[in-house]
Amino acid sequence: MNDPNVIPPLSELMAAMEFDETDLAANHQEQLSPNQVDHLRGLQRRAILIGAVGFIALAFLATLFLYIAQRNDSGILSLIGIFLTLCDTLLVGMMARQWFRLSADLRDNAVIIRSGLLTRTLHRAGNNSQYLVGIGDVRFPVKKEAFRTFRHEAPYTLYYAPNAHILLTAEPATT
C-alpha cells in the first residue's frame, strides 16, 4: 500500500517491525513480553561480545605500537599506542553503558507508552541513510521496511524500553 494518506493495517507494521500480538498485549500493560526480554538479552550478549573482542583487539594493537615505539625510540608510535588505548577505553565504556541500560530495562520490566502524531525523518550521510520515527522530541531508528509502513503526521502509539531507548512495538492510534 503506497497511498500516503491511508494508514496501513497493524499486520503490516507487525511484519515490518517483527513483533506479534503477545508483544503488543504485554506492552499495553506497560511490560515487556517474553520475546522482548529474549531480544534485549540478545542485545546484551552482543554488547558484551563486541566489547570483549574490541578490547582484546585494541589492547593488542596498543601494546604492539607501544612496544615498537620503545624499541625504536619513536614518539609518533608512542602517541598512536596511547591513542589506541584511549579508543579501547571509550569502546569498553560505551559497551558497558549499553549493557547497564539493557539490564535496567530487563530488571524494571517497564515499557513507556507515547501517543501522538508521528514524524518520519530520513538522515542521509553519503551512501548511508538513517530512518527515524518519533513522536514529539522522542525519536527511534527503524529499519527501512518499517519506515515505509509508518505514515508521516498520522496518529500512532509507540511502546519503547525507557533506559536503552529501543522501540519495541507501535500501532496506529485509535481516535
What DSSP character marks residue 78?
H
> What's the rounded mean pLDDT across residues 152-164?
95
- Could you tell me the residue range of the domain that residue 164 belongs to? 10-31+110-172
Q: Are residues 80 and 103 in the same domain?
A: yes
Of 54, 81, 108, the residue at which a domain comes to its end is 108
Q: Are residues 49 and 92 in the same domain?
A: yes
* Angle separating helix axes 34-72 and 75-108, nearest 10 degrees: 170
What's the pLDDT tens digit per position in 3-31? Answer: 667 888 899 999 999 999 999 999 999 99
Domain tally, the chain: 2
> What's the rounded mean pLDDT across residues 96-109?
95
Distance CA 116, CA 84 (A): 45
Q: Are residues 102 and 114 in the same domain?
A: no
Of 86, 108, 130, the residue at which a domain comes to its end is 108
Burial class (CB in 10 A: 0-12, 13-18, 19+), 28: middle
Q: Are residues 134 and 158 in the same domain?
A: yes
Q: Is residue 5 part of a domain?
A: no
Q: Is residue 3 part of a domain?
A: no
Distance CA 79, CA 61 (A): 12
Q: Which of 13, 54, 19, 51 is nearest to 38 (CA)?
A: 19
Q: Are residues 100 and 114 in the same domain?
A: no
The string over 70-100, giving b where at least 16 C-beta atoms fall within 10 Å of a residue's C-beta and e elsewhere, is: eeeeeeebbebbeebbeebeebbeebeebbe
Of 73, 92, 108, the residue at which a domain comes to its end is 108
Q: Is residue 1 part of a domain?
A: no
Confidence check: pLDDT of 175 > 70: no
Q: Is residue 153 part of a domain?
A: yes
Q: Are residues 143 and 133 in the same domain?
A: yes
Q: Are residues 123 and 150 in the same domain?
A: yes
What's the pLDDT tens digit per position in 64-102? Answer: 999 999 999 999 999 999 999 999 999 999 999 999 999
Q: Are residues 48 and 94 in the same domain?
A: yes
For position 6, what pLDDT does the model report? 80
Q: Is residue 63 part of a domain?
A: yes
Q: Are residues 46 and 101 in the same domain?
A: yes
Q: Are residues 114 and 101 in the same domain?
A: no
Predicted confidence band of residue 135 (pLDDT cuts 50, 70, 90):
very high
Domain of 19, CATH number, reads 2.40.50
The Cα-based distances of 130 to 116, 124, 126, 146 in angstroms read 22, 6, 11, 12
**Of 31-40, 50-59, 82-91, 166-175, which range is least confident?**
166-175
Distance CA 19, CA 45 (A): 20
Q: Is residue 103 part of a domain?
A: yes
Q: Are residues 104 and 135 in the same domain?
A: no
**Bridging pattern class, strands 155-161 and 138-142:** unpaired
